[in-house]
Amino acid sequence: MDNFPSQQVEHAATYADEYFTRLAAASKTIDRDAVERAARLIAETAAAGKRIYCCGNGGSAAISNHLVCDCVKGIRTDSTLRPQVVSLSSNIEIITAIGNDIGYDQIFRFQLESLAHPGDLLIVISSSGGSPNIVTALEWARENGVTSIAMTGFSGGASRQLADISLHVEADNYGIIEDLHQSLMHLLAQYTRQKHIADPARLPEIKF
């Protein structure tokens, strides 16, 4: 895995060609067995009436918030599942209160301590996999019967080892990693929805 870009590129079209080539290559590094297990876990958690929590920093926070939309509205529409999904990255008031009064590394863990129960699922999104607030959330989940999925890039950091299921992208460019985390979020939601469509005969007419 080499740095991209390693030197200045004069033309945007040339950059685009290289970016998309590397995006495609990185997509092939994602463990498909892990994708299968993640999809099964998401569906089982929703079917059991348990909650799914998700979190991330920066661009990964945006993916976390988007995940709520694609699960609560996306998966639910036309299907037999009713996912309960909460993004721990969405409430700026509680995030800043915890960060200011307790510590930024506790912003997700502290919320989990109040909200999560055994059998729930935590999905973390972290390009580095080493963000302290992500790692402490995973540690708490492991200690308290909450299963976990981690989407990571670069080396994967501690998150890659702590999570029950690792969806790791072998890449060193934040944009490529985040693009593929977004794709994983979309494909897991879409797959789960079509798998649990209430009337499979309607599948050709349903938009995803």
CATH of the domain at 184: 3.40.50.10490
Distance CA 165, CA 162 (A): 9
Residue 7 covered by a domain = no
pLDDT of 3 above 90 = no
pLDDT of 7 above 90 = no
Distance CA 125, CA 146 (A): 16
pLDDT of residue 145: 98
Task: Kindly report the backbone phi and psi dihedral angles of residue 6, in degrees, each rounded to the nearest multiple of 5, phi listed first.
Answer: -95, -10
Residue 93 covered by a domain = yes
**Would you state the torsion angle of the CA atoms of residues 141, 118, 49, 87, taken in this order, to the nearest 10 degrees?**
-30
Domains: count for the chain: 1
- For the chain, percent of residues with pLDDT exceeding 70: 100
Give the rounded distance of the alpha carbon of 163 from its chain centre. Answer: 12
Distance CA 150, CA 30 (A): 12
Work out whether strand 165-168 and strand 51-56 pair parallel, antiparallel, or are unpaired: unpaired
Domain that holds residue 117: 34-199
Can you read off the two tokens belonging to residue 193? Answer: 């929805």
63 — pLDDT class (breaks 50, 70, 90): very high
Can you read off the two tokens belonging to residue 1? Answer: 């895995």
Q: What is the pLDDT of residues 73-112, one digit of tens each?
A: 999 999 999 999 999 999 999 999 999 999 999 999 999 9
Residue 161 covered by a domain = yes
Residue 4 covered by a domain = no
Residue 179 covered by a domain = yes
pLDDT of residue 1: 59
Residue 62 covered by a domain = yes
Distance CA 95, CA 104 (A): 8
156 — pLDDT class (breaks 50, 70, 90): very high
Q: How many CB atoms lie within 10 A of CB 202?
A: 10
- For the chain, percent of residues with pLDDT exceeding 90: 92
Residue 170 covered by a domain = yes
Distance CA 144, CA 147 (A): 9
- 17-46: average pLDDT: 97
Pick from 37-41, 118-122, 131-135, 199-203: least confident? 199-203
pLDDT of residue 196: 96
- Give the H or E element holding residue 56: strand 51-56
Residue 142 covered by a domain = yes
pLDDT of residue 5: 87
pLDDT of residue 125: 98
Can you read off the two tokens belonging to residue 101? Answer: 């009064």
Mean confidence (pLDDT) of the chain: 96
